[in-house]
A and B are shown apart, each in its own frame.
Chain A
C-alpha cells in the first residue's frame, strides 16, 4: 500500500499513468450531464408549489454538494502536503481551489435566482447562505495565499494550513439549517429517511450529481497535469517528453 502511495506521489509516474483517464472522464461527464440536463429540464415534472422554478435544483444541488466535497478533498491534499511534503499534493491544492471557487459561486448564484421568485429575495444573511459565502472566501483565500510571494514553499504551507482550518466550516454549512432558524430549507435527502421527493425528481438530480463529479475530476486532472509539467519543466522526464 505504501509502495502504491509513493508511486502515485511521483509527478512523473502520475503524469504518465493518469493520461488515460482524461478521455474516459470527458466522455462520462459529457454523456451523463447531457442526459441529466435533458431528463431534469424536459422530462421531470414541475413542482406543486414551485412550478417550473424547481428545475434550478438540478444545477443548484449538485453544485452545492460538489462545492463542499471539493473543499474536503482540497483539505485532505493540504494535510498530505503539510505532513508528507508531497509536491504533487501541493499542486493538487493549488489547482483545485479555482474550480471549487467557481462551483461555490455557481451554487450561490443559482440559489439566489431561485430565492427571488420563491422566497421573495435574492439574498438573506441566514446561517446557510452566509456559511456558504464563507466557503467561497476560503477557496479564494487559499488560491490567493498559494499564489502569493512568487509561488514559494512558504506560500504553499500557509495556503495548506488555511485549507485545513477551513474544514471547520463544512459541518457548520451542513448543520446550519438544523442548529439555527434559517430561511433555507433543511435537507431533502438524509441517510436514514426516504427522500422528500419522488423518483421522477431525484433520479435526474442524482444523475446531475454524478455528472458534476465526473466533470470536476476531469477539470482537476487537466489542470493538475498542466501544473506538474510546468513545475517539473527542468526535470529529465519533461525535457524528454518535449523533445518527442
Chain B
C-alpha cells in the first residue's frame, strides 16, 4: 500500500495519528528515562555500598542470598544473611519474622527497610524473587547431582 495511492484526506489522518503517537512516544521515552531510578523497584548491592541509598529512609534493596551466609538465632525468628550481586558487591540484611517459602541460598530477595550507618540493612519485609526457570523436582535433583543445567547446554 503506497501512501501516494491513498485519498489525501485519509493520508492526512494517517500522518496526523502517526505524528501524534510518535511525538507522545518520544515524550514518554524522555519521562521514563528521567524517572529511571524511581521506576526500579529496589537498590542493588552496588548502589547500597556506594552510598546511594538514603540513610534512615524506608527503601527497598535486593540481591542474591549468598551461600552459607544465613545465620539464624536460637529461640527467635531473627535471621541475618548477606546478599550480593554475584560480582563482588554485598551487604548484610537483618530481619525478624517469617520468611517466604522461596527464601533460600542463591535465591534473589527484595527487602523493605532502612539502612543503618554501619551499612547493615534492617528489613521489615522480605520478598522472594523467582527466576524464569521452571522444572520438575526430579530434574532439579538430577541437576544437583551432576551440577549441570539441562536447560543451558
Whether A119 contacts B100 by the Cβ 8 Å rule is yes
Whether B41 contacts A84 by the Cβ 8 Å rule is no
Given A48-B139, A187-B132, CB of A118 within 8 Å of CB of B102: yes
Whether B44 contacts A185 by the Cβ 8 Å rule is no
Whether B135 contacts A181 by the Cβ 8 Å rule is no
Tell me, in angstroms, the Cα distance from A172 to B135 when the chains sit together: 28
Contacts of A150 in B (CB 8 A): none
Whether A124 contacts B132 by the Cβ 8 Å rule is no
How close is B32's CB to chain A, nearest CB, in angstroms?
8
Given A118-B100, A118-B102, A119-B100, CB of A185 within 8 Å of CB of B130: yes
Contacts of A179 in B (CB 8 A): 32
Contacts of A82 in B (CB 8 A): 13, 17
Contacts of B21 in A (CB 8 A): 164-165, 167-168
Whether B135 contacts A197 by the Cβ 8 Å rule is yes
Could you say which of B13, B130, B131 has the most chain A C-beta atoms within 10 Å of its C-beta?
B130
User: Is A47 interfacial (CB 8 A cutoff)?
Assistant: yes
- The residues in A between 94 and 140 inclusive whose CB is less than 8 angstroms from any CB of B are 117-121, 124-127
How close is A198's CB to chain B, nearest CB, in angstroms?
6
- The residues in A between 3 and 48 inclusive whose CB is less than 8 angstroms from any CB of B are 45-48
Residue interface mask A185-212, B partner, CB < 8 A = 1:
1111000001011101100000000000
Whether B132 contacts A180 by the Cβ 8 Å rule is no
Whether A48 contacts B140 by the Cβ 8 Å rule is yes
User: Is A50 interfacial (CB 8 A cutoff)?
Assistant: yes
Q: A54 contacts which of B42, B127, B128, B134 (Cβ < 8 Å)?
A: B134
User: Is A241 interfacial (CB 8 A cutoff)?
Assistant: no
How close is A62's CB to chain B, nearest CB, in angstroms?
15
Tell me, in angstroms, the Cα distance from A172 to B31 when the chains sit together: 13
Tell me, in angstroms, the Cα distance from A181 to B102 when the chains sit together: 19
Q: B62 contacts which of A57, A168, A181 (Cβ < 8 Å)?
A: A181
Whether B10 contacts A183 by the Cβ 8 Å rule is no
Main secondary structure of the interface of A (DSSP, over half): loop
User: Is B126 interfacial (CB 8 A cutoff)?
Assistant: yes
Tell me, in angstroms, the Cα distance from A87 to B28 when the chains sit together: 31
The contact size tier of chain A is 35 or more
A167 to B, closest residue via Cβ: B21
Contacts of B136 in A (CB 8 A): 45-48, 198, 200-201
Tell me, in angstroms, the Cα distance from A187 to B131 when the chains sit together: 9
Tell me, in angstroms, the Cα distance from A117 to B36 when the chains sit together: 29
Whether A119 contacts B134 by the Cβ 8 Å rule is no
User: Is B125 interfacial (CB 8 A cutoff)?
Assistant: yes
How close is A202's CB to chain B, nearest CB, in angstroms?
8
Known: A124-B110, A127-B41, A161-B20. 7 other contacts (CB 8 A): A47-B135, A118-B128, A121-B127, A124-B41, A165-B20, A180-B41, A196-B151
List 25 interface pairs A-B (beta carbons < 8 Å), by A numbering: A46-B137, A48-B136, A48-B137, A49-B130, A50-B134, A57-B134, A83-B13, A83-B14, A118-B102, A120-B100, A120-B128, A127-B40, A167-B21, A168-B25, A168-B28, A179-B32, A180-B40, A186-B132, A194-B151, A196-B134, A197-B133, A197-B134, A197-B135, A198-B135, A201-B136
